[in-house]
Chains A and B, each alone.
Chain A
């Protein structure tokens, strides 16, 4: 009996140790490829250095320069705030509407087909999408201007990506109609997870249509909305590749975002320490926004509590 208990404990211990050992492998890689570079990036942000040249410790000077002296900093943050706010708005709302419509379909086969149709666009590489929009939509003879000409507004056709008054809006419009992504799937999963008893109760109470959507469905999928909110904010703060591809941050700095400025400082201007300081600042921003989000944006489970 004692022997059996010992044996079972030993087996349990071995099992747990095995789990830890298995976890140690990805954690080790994560440390080498993510945590150490991050730590190295933070340390580097305290130095002035270029590739191939000796580094010089400058303390917080890079941060001071970025936050208080660099004339590009605040315009780039404003651009980023606009793009992030826009991204959050459309990704929180439009896919939700589509997911609700699909979920409302009575036929399971139709629901399945629509889910696939709305998810399929995610297989198109982002770079290809940017280029398609740049060349086919926003060029002088692109879809946008041709449409304006068609409806008699030819005199209003701007050079979308080279006019400072329209470039940022054009960047924000990329991805229209903002329904071809995994957000639809996440919302759909959330709607499907609403217990049938809740739906039944709503029906009995005469709660249907938009009233049910806003009073029952939306509160029940707040967890999904929070996830999308966090991912949208992170994406918005980190964004730069679309701007690099389409406008290189121009005209002037009309579409420059901090991520792009970090890229230019690192690889074009060779100011690695300064670029690291921008990167760390963005990390702090993302971390703060995510923490605030987790603190103040309540999920459905919290509401239930």
Chain B
């Protein structure tokens, strides 16, 4: 039937078996180096750990990585994990790296397989909180931190309430979601500043500016001296630039247009315009083509953009321009401090200043207030639904107890300083832990008032995406201001219509307040035409 003799058949099947065995061997998972996790913490096996908790801590503190590619590997967080695991032998903390993509997170969260703790901007979480994917941390924050309590000193922050441990109370509490609940732990703080090359400034005869106009004059001089005056990541115009200049031009209008006060967030977000206020004001003609003030926001931004070199999208190249002295200034966050400090071949003296106030010379709408800030909470840690997957109920979950215990443990000053002060990057948010001295300029900048609104967090993700794309075109000269304003109005209208369909808002209350504030507005000039 087959025509094959027995030995030939055996040979054939033996060869097949060999190939299958080889394939199987190739598909076996690689064995990890024994005894070590990322960053070098002692590894427990699943057999010895009752609770295996996955923490996507973020790139800044990921053990085993080299910040900015310079110097030694960091290991502060690994030490904290090791100390925690020693304290809780039944728990294994796995520090993992996950993609930043929202697509990834959403699929993981919807399937209940996200890391127990994630690190994302809490504003991006707000759209998902009603889905039960994230845990409100308020009950834990209102209770003592057990690791402080056990030390027996009632004077120590955290003895009564975990909340008391946080240095920047207003900023941290200001991260409450619109449903008034707190879904994140503001682990540390970040602020932006303008890094400048003191040598190039001296050479061009430029001083640190104290007004916007002087800054532009200085940029013109720097340009004449043959360097790029300032580099900035294009997306930052959309994020930081829009909010800062918007605040400069609208701050003086707040007494007439700030319709709702949020008692919880007001101490920090004074006069903050929330999404519902923006919707209401849009219907009154604000932020449209009829609003000359809104138009001026983008005109001023274009003036600044003129001095910011070619449209490079790779942040590393922009930093290189500054480091190689091709650019005199670079607008970035405190994260850059380490890069500059650790570079032994830098070859120039650098400093940090903050954007100065926009004056009437630049815009007739300028409020002349000091420039606000747009930083605040840096690493924002959220607890996901995976943390209480054992029972499905946060009240009864033992696993969640461990997850919360780890977060509380991370905040104990002795542990916290090992992480946050391992290298200069972010500002300490725990009472009793000072920031590294080199970050002092950013600590001072952080004291300034917060912006009037965060445009890219106000509406849906689509609004932010459209604004970013169009602003880039406009700033790079591929679109004129009129066309940009038309797009922006259409974009805003679609976002507002969509938001109003999805979320109820108390228009009557805002109308009543609007009417009450009419006398204040009567004294204001240049409100949108037809108001």
Residues of A with Cβ closer than 8 Å to B? 48, 50-53, 56, 58, 61, 65, 69-72, 162-165, 249-253, 264-265, 267-271
- Tell whether B102 is near chain A: CB-to-CB under 8 Å: yes
A72, B131: Cβ atoms under 8 Å? Answer: no
A65 touches B133 (CB 8 A): no
Partner of B494 from A56, A58, A71, A249 at Cβ < 8 Å? A71
Least CB distance from A184 to B in Å reads 38
With beta carbons under 8 angstroms apart, the residue of B102, B103, B130, B476 that contacts A53 is B130
Stretch of B222-230, B273-281, B375-383, B467-475 with 4 or more beta carbons under 8 angstroms from chain A = B467-475
Partner of A251, one of B109, B473, B487, B493: B473
Q: Is B23 an interface residue (CB 8 A)?
A: no
- B contact residues around A249 at 8 Å (CB): 469
Alpha-carbon separation in the docked complex, A271 to B76 (Å): 40
B478 — nearest CB in chain A belongs to which residue? A164
Minimal beta-carbon separation of B153 from chain A (angstroms): 44
Query: Does the CB pair A51–B462 fall under 8 Å?
Result: no
**Cβ-neighbour of B497 out of A69, A251, A271 (below 8 A):** A69
B207 on the A face (CB < 8 A): no
From 70 to 113 in chain B, residues with beta carbon under 8 angstroms from any chain A beta carbon are 102-103, 106-107, 109-110
Known: A61-B501, A163-B478. 16 other contacts (CB 8 A): A51-B107, A52-B128, A52-B132, A53-B130, A58-B501, A65-B494, A65-B498, A69-B493, A70-B494, A71-B494, A72-B466, A164-B478, A251-B478, A252-B473, A268-B465, A269-B465
In the complex, whether B479 has a CB less than 8 A from a CB of chain A is yes
Which residues of chain A come closer than 8 Å to B491, judged between CB atoms?
71
Complex formed: what's the CA distance from A70 to B460 in Å?
A: 13
Closest approach, in angstroms, between the C-beta of A258 and any C-beta of chain B?
14
A8 vs chain B, min Cβ distance (A): 34
Tell me, rounded to whole Å, the shortest Cβ–Cβ distance linking A290 to chain B.
31
- Report A-chain residues with C-beta under 8 Å of the C-beta of B109: 52
> In the docked arrangement, what's the CA distance between A269 and B124, Å?
11
20 pairs, A vs B, C-beta closer than 8 Å: A48-B502, A52-B106, A53-B128, A61-B501, A69-B497, A163-B478, A164-B478, A164-B479, A250-B472, A251-B469, A251-B472, A253-B466, A253-B469, A265-B462, A268-B103, A269-B460, A269-B461, A270-B102, A270-B127, A271-B462
B103 touches A71 (CB 8 A): no
B387 to chain A, nearest CB (A): 16
A48 to B500, CA, bound (A): 13
Which residues of chain B come closer than 8 Å to A51, judged between CB atoms? Answer: 106-107, 110
Does B449 have its Cβ within 8 Å of any Cβ on chain A?
Answer: no
- Chain B proximity of A264: nearest CB distance (Å): 7
Q: Which residues of B contact A (CB under 8 A)?
A: 102-103, 106-107, 109-110, 127-128, 130-133, 311, 313, 460-462, 465-466, 469-470, 472-473, 476, 478-479, 487, 490-491, 493-494, 497-498, 501-502
Contact A268 B102 (CB under 8 A): yes
Q: Specify which chain A residues have a CB less than 8 angstroms from the CB of B473 in the assembled complex.
A: 164, 251-252
B313: chain A residues at CB < 8 Å are 162
Residues of chain B with a CB closer than 8 A to A162's CB: 311, 313
A270-B469 in contact (CB<8A): no
CA separation between A164 and B476, bound complex, in Å?
A: 10
A residues less than 8 Å from B311 (CB atoms) = 162
Q: Kindly provide the distance from the CB of A296 to the nearest chain B CB, expressed in whole angstroms.
A: 36
In the complex, A173 Cα to B506 Cα: how many Å?
A: 53
* B106 / chain A contacts, CB cutoff of 8 Å: 51-52, 270
From known contacts A58-B501, A164-B473, A251-B472, infer whether A267 and B494 are also in contact, taking CB-CB under 8 Å: no
Chain B residues near A71 (CB-CB < 8 A): 466, 487, 490-491, 494
**Looking at A56, A69, A250, A251, which has the most chain B CB atoms within 10 Å of its CB?**
A251
Chain B nearest CB: distance from A274 CB in Å?
Answer: 9
Contact, CB under 8 Å: B131 / A53: yes
Residues of A within 8 A of B466 (CB): 71-72, 253
Nearest Cβ on chain A to B100's Cβ, whole angstroms: 12
Given the complex of chains A and B, what is the CA–CA distance between A253 and B490 in angstroms?
14
Most A CB atoms within 10 A — which of B130, B460, B465, B490? Answer: B465
Give the Cβ gap from A298 to chain B, nearest Cβ, in Å.
43
B493 & A52 in contact (Cβ 8 Å cutoff): no
Query: What residues of chain B lie closer than 8 Å to A53, measured between beta carbons?
Result: 128, 130-131
Cα–Cα distance between A297 and B497 once the two chains are bound (Å):
43
User: By CB atoms of chain B within 10 A, which of A58, A252, A253 has the most?
Assistant: A252
Contacts of A65 in B (CB 8 A): 494, 497-498
Residues in A whose Cβ lies below 8 Å from that of B472: 250-252
A48 in complex: contacting residue of B103, B462, B478, B501, CB < 8 Å: B501
Query: For B469, B473, B476, B494, which residue has the most chain A Cβ atoms within 10 angstroms?
Result: B469
B-chain residues with CB within 8 Å of residue A268 when the two chains form the complex: 102-103, 461, 465
Please name all residues of chain B whose beta carbon is closer than 8 Å to the beta carbon of A271 when the two chains form the complex. 460, 462
**Bound CA–CA A65/B472 (angstroms):** 25
**Chain A residue at smallest Cβ distance from B460:** A269
Alpha-carbon separation in the docked complex, A269 to B110 (Å): 15
Question: B385 — nearest CB in chain A belongs to which residue?
Answer: A52
Q: CA A58 – CA B500 in complex, angstroms?
A: 13
- Cα separation A248 to B110 with both chains bound (whole Å): 26
In the assembled complex, the Cα of A56 lies from the Cα of B501 at a distance in Å of 10
Nearest CB on B from A270, distance (A): 6
Nearest A residue (CB) for B473: A252
CA of A98 to CA of B130, assembled, Å: 60
B96 CB → nearest A CB, Å: 22
A267 (CB) vs chain B CBs: closest residue: B103
A277 to B470, CA, bound (A): 24
Closest to B311 in A: A162
Q: In whole Å, how far is B183's beta carbon from the nearest beta carbon of chain A? A: 15
Complex CA–CA separation, A48 to B473 (angstroms): 31
Closest 9 CB pairs of A and B: A71-B490, A52-B131, A252-B473, A164-B478, A269-B462, A52-B110, A269-B461, A267-B103, A252-B469
Contacts of B460 in A (CB 8 A): 269, 271
Would A270 and B131 be within 8 Å (CB), given that A71-B487, A71-B494 are in contact? Answer: no
Assembled-state Cα–Cα distance A267/B103 (Å): 6
Closest to B102 in A: A268
Closest chain-B Cβ to A139's Cβ sits at a distance in Å of: 13
Contact, CB under 8 Å: B465 / A252: no
Taken together as a complex, chains A and B put the C-alpha atoms of A98 and B497 apart, in Å, by 53
**Contact yes or no, A270 B461, CB < 8 A:** yes
- Chain B contacts for A165, CB-based, 8 A: 478
Residue in chain A with minimal CB distance to B131? A52
Distance of A61 Cα from B500 Cα, bound (Å): 13
Give the shortest distance, in Å, between A68 (CB) and chain B (any CB). Answer: 10
Q: How long is the Cα–Cα vector from A53 to B502 in the complex, in angstroms?
A: 12
